Amino acid sequence: MIHSLFLINNTGDIFLEKHWKSVIGRSVCDYFFEAKDKAGDPENVPPVLQTPHHYLISIYRGKLFLLSVIQSEVSPLFVIEFLHRVADTIQDYFGECSENVIKENLVIVYELLEEMLDNGFPLATESNVLKEMIRPPNILRSVVNTLTDTLPTGQLSNVPWRRAGVKYTNNEAYFDVIEEIDAIIDKSGTTVFAEIQGAIEACVRLTGIPDLTLSFMNPRLLDDVSFHPCVRFKRWEAERVLSFIPPDGNFTLMTYHISSQNLVAIPVYVKQNISFFDTASCGRLDITIGPKQTMGKMVEGLSVTIPMPKSVHSANLTATQGSYTFDLATKVLVWDIGKLNPQKLPNLKGSLSIQSGVPKPEENPSLSIGLKVQQLAISGIKVNRLDMYGEKYKPFKGVKYVTKAGKFQVRT
Amino acid sequence: MSSTALYNDQGGAETAVEAGQESTSSTGAAFGLFSADFKKNEDLKEMLESNKESHKLEAMKRIVGLIAKGKNASELFPAVVKNVASKNIELKKLVYVYLVRYAEEQQDLALLSISTFQRALKDPNQFIRASALRVLSSIRVPIIVPIMMLAIKEASTDLSPYVRKTSAHAIQKLYSLDPDQKEQLIEVIEKLLKDKSTLVAGSVVMAFEEVCPDRIDLIHKNYRKLCNLLVDVEEWGQVVIISMLTRYARTQFINPWKEDGLDENNETAFYDSDSERNQTEAKPYIMDPDHRLLLRNTKPLLQSRNTAVVMSVAQLYWHLAPKHEVSVVTKSLVRLLRSHREVQFIVLQNIATMSIQRKGMFEPFMKSFYVRSTDPTNIKTLKLEILTNLANEANISTILREFQTYVKSQDKEFAAATIQAIGRCATNISEVADTCLNGLVQLLSNRDETVVAESVVVIKKLLQTQPSQHSEIIKHMAKLFDNITVPMARASILWLIGEYCEKVPKIAPDVLRKMAKTFTTEEDIVKLQTVNLAAKLYLTNSKQTKLLTQYILNLGKYDQNYDIRDRTRFIRQLIVPSEKSSALNKYARRILLASKPAPVLESAFKDRDRYQLGTLSHSLNIKATGYQELCDWPTIAPDASVRNVEIIEPVNEWVPKAGKSKQRKSEKFYSDEEEDRDEAGSESSSTEDSSSSSSEESDKSSSASEKTSSESEANSIDLFALLCSQVTTSSFSPVKTYDLLHHMSAKGLAAKYHFPRQPCLYQPCMVAVQVILTNCSDHNLEEIHIGDRIPASLNIHCFNTIERLEPGAAVTVSMGIDFSDSTQAANFQLCTKSDKFNVSIQPVVGELLTPSTMTEEDFCMEQRLKLAQGTVVPVGSYCCFYQLY
């Protein structure tokens, strides 16, 4: 399926290549470079390209391109999903997926790629299994040389996501319910579209093979869900509880979606006025943010990002709270506010200067809002209880809620 | 050349050096660059030849680093290949990596390593066997094809499912190396398809798809098993299996879509042919239970975290499910839009194709396709495409309002695409055509050239498709003309007026008059269109415009731009009749005023549905190499019985005693049980997990209990009592024998075991196990006994030490193992005088249980009790009518 993989940085250097079948020359990447130049922005490069003899499927992540070479019909999502899994694995191993990190750990990355695919077909993609075969570098290599003599067993059990013989002195299981609000608010402040994307991120450090059951107070809220392979579908369908043998360490247990049909609470409102004058080459900007439906919780980490039109030259603004930066190269204005004080609403006001001789921008830029509300799942979802079977000890359990702004956009 | 010479001196007489050197020096220009590498590689070679493991390891790491960077390290082959038999696993792995990369280039030397792999293929450790097969099959050296074939055949019958999985991968590799082996490989595939392990299923189907995708007949017998295993197969395997089953289903089941059509056709056939055969296609349409099975078993996979799995289920439903069921996939597809950019791109492409045929599926989710200013352009355009597809009379006003925002986007490419989309909405929904047209006309005053140009193009298209409304809008545009400064737009309007000058006979000459005034100050492109307009008017309305045209042609004749001078000269020759004028003159009218074909406004995804959704071909809209056409439904369903699997069971032999009439039922019951037992066997470590389905199991067992109860009513012979009495007699031969120790891995000592299903004599909590020890070597084996147990607390009643076992002789011993009512494997050592072998006995749930009689009421009571307690006893359903030892 996947014939070869090239890792390419933003400037077009190929710094790693791996072939699972016979070797394909680097020149195949030229077609990709051509498309990349044409697209301009790396985000705009088409993920699937055709060349005379091969097909190229690429992803762009962390300023890197992962480019795979395909020779015959395959589901493109299969390849894309796999490439993202490669990036995830690298991130899992080394903390981030960037050119420097990969260059530093070239051999380990190469070995990982060797294990992840056999003849171009995914073999081991579970991080628990991979870590048994190839140790991450943070453990002393001297230890590794003795350790690797034990061969992995994870692939054999019917819980391939869990490594065998897990032992902890402190047994703990933490679950973070993270919700993101995706919304589009129009000029007048009405919600054009809003939905909630939730995820339960788990950090489970439990000895042995625990069997966990997690239930919700109000599972009916969940509109559409997807699970880590460890979750038993049938149990969910019949009883609406999550029953699973967890992987060891960090993982995403489930993601869910609460669609716009249900009323989605919007925690803040934005009053904005951005205008450019016809006559003088300048514009005015005035933004105020206030609390709307915060359920009595504090809104933190508030920020506003505005990609200004290219003709905007500079910004001369005053913020009553927080600070702003205007990047002259990318023309992005970022206003970092911090906590929202309901008594004294943060305001950003001032003038924008436009390059002279250039006609005034047609459209006002839209604002992206960033925010965070601790201890609140905006959808109202609540974990009821977590039970453990199969092991005798008492684990330490915890659930945390947090709401964030996802793709939260205000049109102006 | 000096460095080559140096290298040669030190490299000694090894032939490979020559090869390496040749290949490098032949690179010519890059030679100077490589000379540094040569020196570096020299010290790598020294390190590899040193005695210290750490040096070798360090060297191999650096070499693999070179490979990863795409540098040539092939001249080190002889030095590396020596380490293939190293004891250090870390080092060995790196050598394998190297071998796989360079074996093809250095075939002769690669052969040196083969014997090492052949030895490793017989290693007692399954991982070593698997990795040996993996590397051996990755060495693309044609000479070893027979060895590979042999190894694959052997591995395909290996006890370890992991090794069998690897053999399935090796099949594809061998096939691409030597397609002549196809027939033999198909035999292996056929064998592996029967495998019941979830580990193997995905890989063997992959091999099937690559080697013999057209041998659909191999699937029949395994179809139901694959459907049932699907949920537990690893995610990548799921994608492959689902796409194969999609193709399979299209050849085996009848079309579930044309329900009405079928009814009529079958009316007569139903009555005059024998009803039994016709039952499946009789009216109303009844779906084949196997077809239903596939749909039912794939549905939960929509909840997978793997986007490729979700997409493949979606395409399966799209291509196989009855129309009204397809919409179950909508939500999941929309969910994928939250994923990475590339995933969004592919999913949106597929939704675009789907939304053309089935608007209703995605209409409730219309808002999920609203564009954000932060989306990349290609995502934006796809969303726009879908929104346009979804537009209908009811939602058009919402969509148009949304489009208004997009038109103002800073991303001009996207704004232009929006204008096109508006044009499409206008042609598709006649109610809003006027509104759209007015909106577009307003856009003509936009300052951006792309927007204006696009608007004019779209207006032009709209006017061409709706000839009735020409004059009003053209008049309007003519009015706007003075205010529009963008040359492209001015030019386009002039073209429009020229093209439809007969519809606006009064305005056209006036516009020309104005243009004549400002001609010299206009942009070139406007001048060109002015000349065109003049020419067209001259042909249609020469009375009014003759002088104007001549004036303009004169201006054009002396223009600074040669394009305009050329055009003027050409037009003059064409339209103004003169003595010198050519024959072309006659045709002037037909040339200039030919009716231009109306452009077609339709989705770019209109014809994409000829490709299977979710495929590369669909994404590129080009038939990709190796694309398998999805065939049409058969008109008459092929024989469904080919998928029936007959189960050969030893229990059948004594079942007739319970009454012939009940044979079928009991057979069914046992087949269920057998299936479960096998499942438990393959899910090696714990059935506690039993992710497959506790509810399904309880279904099965409850129905099973019903059957048994009815049976006991009928013959007053309880099956379990019968089983009980049967198993205690020594004549009963056990169901299954398992391998404990293979003679290849244990120096000739082979051990097999089975569960005699007798109460254990030694302790009541123990399970009796019989072990058959065979000496397959050519010498006596002495002092065979049981050694250490892991964990040490494991309670085993050992057999007495066997002092001597002659070559070829076999002995059966019995032992007792306390599994503590769990399915955890019992690990212990089997020792001879000189060796110790680690073995493990994996009990199957069924073997831990003892049968007991129970009435149906009691059974139901018990079951309810267990459910009420909420205890997780996935095997609870068994416990209800078996009791634990």
Alpha helices in A124-202 (DSSP H): 127-133, 141-147
For residue A76, the model assigns a pLDDT of 92
Partner residue opposite A75 with nearest CB, options B140, B308, B378:
B308
How long, in residues, is chain B?
A: 885
Peptide bond into B213 cis (omega under 30): no
Sorted by where each starts, the structural domains of chain A and their CATH numbers stand as 2-156 (3.30.450.60), 172-263+378-411 (2.60.40.1170), 268-373 (2.60.40.1170)
Quick check: ipTM above 0.85? yes
Pairing of strands A172-185, B802-805: unpaired
Please judge whether A260 and B378 are an interchain contact, meaning their C-beta atoms are less than 8 angstroms apart: no
Q: Identify the H or E element spanning A204.
A: strand A191-205
Task: Determine the average pLDDT of the residues in B311-334.
Answer: 90
Spatial distance between the Cα atoms of B532 and B498, rounded to a whole number of angstroms: 7
> Cα(B466)–Cα(B460) distance, rounded to whole angstroms?
10
Give the per-residue pLDDT at B878: 39
Asked if B197 is an interface residue toward chain A (Cβ–Cβ < 8 A), one would say: no
> Chain A contact for B300, CB < 8 A?
yes
- Per-residue pLDDT tens over the stretch B325-342: 888 899 889 888 888 999
CA B269, chain centre distance (Å): 40
Q: Nearest to residue A184, comparing CAs of A176, A175, A193? A: A193
The shortest CB-CB distance from B447 to any of A60, A259, A362 is to: A362
Is there a contact between B373 and A252 if contact means CB atoms under 8 Å apart? no
Question: Can you give the pLDDT at residue B759?
Answer: 66
Minimal C-alpha gap between B540 and chain A (Å): 41
Report chain B residues whose CB lies below 8 A from the CB of A121.
169, 172, 203, 206, 236
Q: Do the chains contact at A123 and B169, CB–CB below 8 Å?
A: yes
Residue range B364-378, pLDDT digits in tens: 888 889 998 888 988
Chain B residues 226-255 with CB within 8 Å of chain A: 231-232, 234-236, 239, 243
Instruction: For residue B150, give both structure tokens.
Output: 């042999």
The shortest C-alpha distance from A368 to chain B (Å) reads 9
Indicate yes or no: CB of B622 within 8 angstroms of CB of A155: no
pLDDT > 90? residue B316: yes
Q: Is the CB of A404 inside 8 Å of chain B's CB atoms?
A: no
- pLDDT tens sequence across B156-188: 988 888 889 899 999 998 998 888 888 989 999
- Residue of A16, A65, A77 to mutate, interface with B, max B Cβ within 10 Å: A77
How many interface pairs between A and B have CB atoms less than 8 angstroms apart?
276
Beta carbons within 10 angstroms of residue B854's beta carbon: 20
Alpha-carbon distance B878 to B872, whole Å? 13
User: In this complex, do B341 and A47 lie within 8 Å of one another by their Cβ atoms?
Assistant: yes
Q: What is the reported pLDDT for B123?
A: 84
DSSP state of B301: G
Residues in chain A with CB shorter than 8 Å from the CB of B700 are none
Q: Does B213 touch chain A (CB under 8 A)?
A: no
- Using the predicted structure, report yes or no on whether residue B555 has a pLDDT greater than 80: yes
CA distances from B519 to B484, B530, B558, B559, B588 (A): 15, 8, 12, 10, 24
Residues on chain B touching A87 (C-beta within 8 angstroms):
none
* Contact indicator for B493, B526 with CB cutoff of 8 Å: no
Reduced to 3 states, what is the DSSP secondary structure of residue A395?
A: coil
Report the distance separating Cα A334 and Cα A318, nearest Å. 13
Contacts of B169 in chain A (CB under 8 A): 118-119, 121, 123
DSSP 8-state class, residue A264: P
- Chain A CB contacts of B160 under 8 Å are 156
Alpha-carbon gap, residue B858 to B349, rounded angstroms: 57
Q: Which of B61, B89, B410 sits opposite A309 (nearest CB)?
A: B410
Question: Taking the model in full, what pTM does it have?
Answer: 0.73
State how far the alpha carbon of B231 is from the alpha carbons of A155, B234, B235, B242, B451, in Å: 17, 8, 9, 11, 51
Question: Which of B497 and B41 is assigned the larger pLDDT?
Answer: B497
Q: Nearest-CA distance from A328 to chain B in Å?
A: 18
Helices of type H across B157-273: 161-177, 182-193, 198-211, 223-229, 235-252, 259-272
> Of all residues in chain B, what percent are helix, strand and coil, respectively (each to 5)?
65, 5, 30
- Give the nearest chain B residue to A228 (CA atoms): B305
| Integer Cα distance of A3 and A140 in angstroms | 34
Helix pair B145-156, B182-193: axis angle to 10 deg: 10
SS3 A5: strand
Please list the pLDDT of chain A residue by residue as tens digits (412 residues).
899 999 999 888 999 999 988 888 888 999 999 999 988 888 889 999 999 889 999 999 988 999 999 988 899 999 999 999 999 999 888 888 888 888 888 888 998 898 888 888 888 888 877 877 777 776 444 444 444 445 555 555 667 788 777 788 889 999 999 999 988 888 888 888 888 889 999 999 998 889 999 999 988 888 788 998 889 888 888 888 999 999 888 889 999 888 765 578 888 889 888 888 877 678 888 999 988 887 888 889 999 999 888 888 888 889 898 899 998 888 899 999 988 888 889 999 998 888 877 777 767 788 899 999 998 888 888 999 899 988 888 889 999 999 999 889 998 7
What is the per-residue pLDDT for B869? 53
A-proximal residues of B, 712-771, CB under 8 Å: none
Confidence check: pLDDT of B445 > 80: no
Q: Please name the residue of chain B whose CA is at the shortest distance from the CA of residue A25.
A: B70
- What is the signed CA dihedral for B323, B328, B333, B336, rounded to 10 degrees? -170
* Per-window interface: A 265-324 vs B, CB < 8 A: 307, 309-310
> Average of pLDDT values for B452-470?
75
Q: A103 touching B, CB under 8 A?
A: no
Tell me if B160 and A156 make a contact (CB, 8 A cut-off): yes
Question: Which one is predicted more confidently, A160 or B660?
Answer: A160
Could you tell me what percent of chain B has a pLDDT over 70? 76
Q: Does A169 touch chain B (CB under 8 A)?
A: no
pLDDT of residue B831: 79
Residue to mutate among B44, B91, B342, with most A CBs inside 10 A, is: B342
Among A349-358, B256-265, B676-685, whose mean pLDDT is lowest? B676-685
Q: What is the mean pLDDT of residues B295-307?
A: 90
Q: Are B385 and B603 spatial neighbours (Cβ–Cβ below 8 Å)?
A: yes
B813: Cα separation from own chain's centroid: 49
Considering only CB atoms, which chain B residues are within 8 Å of A1? 206
Residue B134 has pLDDT above 60, yes or no: yes
